[in-house]
Homo-oligomer: A and B are copies of this chain.
Amino acid sequence: MRRTAALILIGNEILSGRTRDDNIQFLATNLGELGIPLREIRVIPDVRETIVKTVVELRARYDEVFTTGGIGPTHDDITGPCVAEAFGVPWEFHRPTFDMLQEQFGADFNAARQRMAKLPRGAVPIPNPVSRAPGYSIGNVHVMAGVPRIMRAMFNELAPSLKRGAPVFSRTWYTTSLFEGTIADGLEAIQTQFPDLDIGSYPFHRDDGRRGVALVAKGQDVPDLEKAAQAIHDLIKEKGGVPVEGEPPP
C-alpha cells in the first residue's frame, strides 16, 4: 500500500539562516523505513495565517503530516492555536498534561509554562521523555518540538502507532571514473524499462577534488529493483567505468 507524508517546519530560524536544519534527514529516513515516504517539505515562518493555511492544505493532500517547532512557552510559539484553528476546535487546557507539568514545575508553573498544557481539543499527547511538555496527534497531523533531541524522542514515541506502508528499498552504485553526461542516455533507458522504480542520478564533488556520480534505484518491487541494479552496474562497466556498490564516501 502506498502511503505518503509531508513535513512542515515552523519557525523563522531556518528561513533566516540562524539555524541549520537538523530534523529533515532524520524524519525523511525514518519515514521511508516505515513505508510512509516524505513527498513534500515546507519551511514556513511563525505567521498565523500561513501556518493555518499550510496545515489545512497538506493534511488534505497527504496521508500523514508532521510538524516541528513552535510548541514551547514563548509568544512566538503559535503552532498550537494555529493547528486548533486548522481543525476548527478550541485550544484548551489538557487536564492530564496540566497536572503533569504543574507537578514538574511547582511554584515556577507560570502563565507562560501553562501554555504548554494547552492542546487542540481531541488531540492525543505524544510523550516527551526529554523535557516533559508533550507534542500531540490530531487527525493525521502530528505536532512535535523543533529542538532536534526532543523531536527525535517524540518521533520514537509516536512511530509504533503509525500505520506503515510498503517499505521502499534502494540499491546504489557509484563511479568516480565517469561523468553523469556519459551515462545519462543509458540510465534513461533503464528508467523506461522499470517505470515503477525511481532511478536517480546524483553527481558528487568533494572538497579534495574527488568527483563522480551515484546512481540510485528505489522502489517497492524487490525483484525489479535487483534487475535494475544489475543493469546500472552493467551500464557503468559498458561505458568504461568502475562500478562500486553503495554510497560514495564523504
A residues touching B (Cβ–Cβ < 8 Å)?
A: 11-21, 24-32, 37-46, 50, 72-77, 105, 108, 110-113, 115-116, 130, 147, 149-150, 168, 170, 180-182, 184-185, 187-188, 191, 198-205, 216, 218, 247
Contacts and interface: CB of A to CB of B under 8 A. Distances in A.
Contact of A73 (B27, B184, B198, B200): B184
A128 to B, nearest CB: 12
B202 A13 contact: yes
A207 to B, nearest CB: 8
Given A41-B42, A42-B40, A111-B185, A200 B20 contact: no
A16 B41 contact: no
List 8 A-B pairs, minimum CB-CB distance, nearest first.
A112-B184, A17-B28, A17-B29, A75-B188, A41-B43, A74-B201, A113-B181, A73-B181
A185 B110 contact: yes
Contact of A205 (B39, B46, B74, B149): B149
A110 B204 CA distance: 21
Nearest to A77: B201
A199 B76 contact: yes
B17 A32 contact: yes
A165 to B, nearest CB: 14
A101 B20 CA distance: 35
Contacts of A130: 205
A39 B45 CA distance: 7
Contact of A74 (B110, B116, B187): B187
A110 B150 CA distance: 50
A113 B184 CA distance: 8
B16 A180 contact: no
A47 to B, nearest CB: 9
Contact of A187 (B42, B75, B115): B75
A75 B184 CA distance: 7
Contacts of A116: 181
